[in-house]
Amino acid sequence: MQKGLIPALQEVMPGVEHRFCVWHLWKNFCKMFKDKQLKDVVWVCAKSTTPQQFNTEMDKLKAMNNSAWDYLSKFPPNTWSRAYFSEQPKVDTLCNNNCEAFNAKILKYRGKPILKMLEEIRSYIMRNMASNKR
């Protein structure tokens, strides 16, 4: 939705690969296409691991609904499907909602005075790190 973000990023960091968060792409897709089968195809395409699998699923989508296929075809596959991700970054994450998940977790601390809020967030992070320590 933030169309100026990609050109700005390329200006500041030329050649950096850009990927879309599939969850956000899917949510926007769901606003236009209500059919559950169509909604599921987005994730199948995104999770495809080979170009052949991706193309097969996109062909199925085109047979089901040409408008849905047109919508997804606007996005280059290397920005949202594992099948086309570059191997350079060594990560194949489809969603980048870490920030949103964190914000949801700290929601209960936001109404507190700043120092109390920061202390509560610090304590939350420390508890989380300790429970995830291996």
pTM passes above 0.85? no
Single-letter amino acid, residue 110: R
- pLDDT at position 132: 74
Q: What is the per-residue pLDDT across 7-55, written as a single tens digit (0 to 9) for each?
A: 887 888 888 877 888 888 999 999 999 888 888 999 999 999 999 999 9
Q: What are the two backbone dihedrals, phi and then psi, of residue 75, each rounded to the nearest 5 degrees?
A: -95, 125
- Pair 24, 76 in one domain: yes
What pLDDT, in 10s, does the model give residues 66-116?
A: 999 999 999 999 989 999 988 776 666 677 666 777 888 888 998 899 999
pLDDT of residue 15: 81
Residue 71 lies in a domain: yes
Could you give the CA distance from residue 23 to residue 46 in angstroms, rounded to a whole number? 10
Same domain for 23 and 80, yes or no, is yes
The whole-angstrom separation of Cα 78 and Cα 82 is 8
Q: Is there a domain that residue 29 lies in? A: yes
User: Which amino acid would we find at residue 106?
Assistant: I
With vertex at residue 65, the alpha carbon angle to CA 64 and CA 66, rounded to the nearest 5 degrees, is: 125
The answer to whether residues 64 and 37 touch, using CB atoms and an 8 Å cutoff, is yes
Q: Residue 49 corresponds to which amino acid?
A: T
How many of the other CB atoms lie within 10 Å of CB of 76?
A: 12
- What tokens does 37 get? 């089968």
Residues 32, 78, single domain; the answer is yes
Two structure tokens written together for 95: 């969603």
Supply the range of the domain harboring residue 24: 5-84
Q: Which two tokens stand for residue 63?
A: 């047979």
Same domain, 14 and 77: yes
Q: Are residues 76 and 109 in the same domain?
A: no
